Amino acid sequence: MAQENILETRIDNRLIHGQVGVTWANHLGANLVVVANDKVSTDEVQQSLMDMVLPDVIQARFFSLQKTIDVIHKASPKQKIFLVVKDVHDALTLKEGGVDFDHLNIGNMHYEEGKKQISSTVSVDEKDIAAFKRLAELGVELDLRKVPSDRGQNILDLF
């Protein structure tokens, strides 16, 4: 699959919800949302709940990280893909596995014990920072942005 089929790759620990399923997918012109997440790939209840958020004209696929690496390059040219991952580590796994994206939208990474909040929607720890730096070394532009109308910011500027 040509990189052009992946319109955007986004980190959002909520995966598909209203902001992703409607705002972002419509803004990008996506007709397919691929959720790359090992846990959700086997959880039909979660998949059904996320599927309900999407407009009828947008399909969803729920793949493990390895299956995403194995099959995304086989996508039809007609598929305009919005790739969604839960965290920076999943994004790095995909990139190092050969998934061809050079832009990463960081939308939502919830606060947890041991993480520091760097924006209203993103909290990171040292492992997250190391993964972001590795993605940058691999040539990925790191764009912190909640919604398309927000002004993006390079997340590396916040560390």
Judge whether 17 counts as a catalytic residue.
yes
Does residue 10 contact residue 105 with C-beta atoms inside 8 Å?
yes
Residue count (the chain) = 159
110: Cβ–Cβ under 8 A, 6 or more apart, which residues?
13, 123
Residue with tokens 């910011």: 153
Helix axes 88-96, 126-137, angle to 10 degrees: 30
Options 17, 27, 89, 103, the catalytic residue: 17
- The whole-angstrom separation of Cα 56 and Cα 73 is 24
Using DSSP's 3-state secondary structure scheme, residue 5 falls into: helix
Nearest CA-CA partner of 16 in 41, 52, 45, 63: 52
Q: Which two tokens stand for residue 103?
A: 């832009």
Tokens describing residue 17: 């919800």
Q: Annotated active-site positions, please?
A: 17
